[in-house]
Amino acid sequence: MLYAVRLALITLATAIALPASLSYAAGEGRTPKPVIKIENADTKCVAPPEEMRRNHMEMLKHQRDETLREGIRGEPVSLNRCINCHASKQTGSVLGSNENFCQTCHAYVAVKLDCWDCHQPKANYKARVTNGAAPASHDKAASTMGAMK
């Protein structure tokens, strides 16, 4: 009885795992492969694609300190230049769908993109002009400090 149960379990496990592993080995897993669409194909990136794929994180990390902490401008590595070139012509951004440049690979390898919490992913973006950041709900009457004194 126990032997039968064990046999059934092993068969079931194999039936599930084997096709998945075979297809993974053949290069077709469940996760959709990245769609790398180069929008401005006639221009050149700062380095060849193989080097960019391996090193773009190091390049960006090194450059961000040079730019921000030391104030060095005009270097070839610039996040805004990357975005302006690589942003999808449909969405105008490097994020938003799994066909967009940064998101497509990062979704595949499941590496969280921390940059876009602060950096603007839309290319050539003109931030919305405000009529002033002063919040409207402030009551300009005498402050409570005056009342206390």
When asked if residue 58 is in the footprint of other proteins (CB under 8 A), the reply is: no
Nearer of residues 42 and 139 to other proteins, judged by Cβ: 139
User: DSSP letter at 77?
Assistant: -
Footprint of other proteins on 73-132 (CB under 8 A): 73-75, 80, 83, 114, 117-120, 122, 124-125, 127-132
Q: What span, in angstroms and rounded, lies between the C-alpha atoms of 79 and 11? A: 52
Q: How far is the CB of 143 from other proteins (least distance, A)?
A: 4
Nearer of residues 27 and 74 to other proteins, judged by Cβ: 74
Residue 84 three-state SS: helix
Both tokens of 82, joined, read 């990357």
Tell me how far apart the terminal alpha carbons of the chain are, to the nearest angstrom.
89
Q: What span, in angstroms and rounded, lies between the C-alpha atoms of 49 and 47? A: 7
Of 14, 13, 82, 73, whose CA–CA distance to 47 is shortest?
82
Using CB under 8 A, which of the segments 1-9, 30-38, 69-77, 100-108 binds other proteins? 69-77
The binding site for other proteins (CB under 8 A) comprises: 64-66, 68-75, 80, 83, 114, 117-120, 122, 124-125, 127-138, 140, 142-146, 148-149
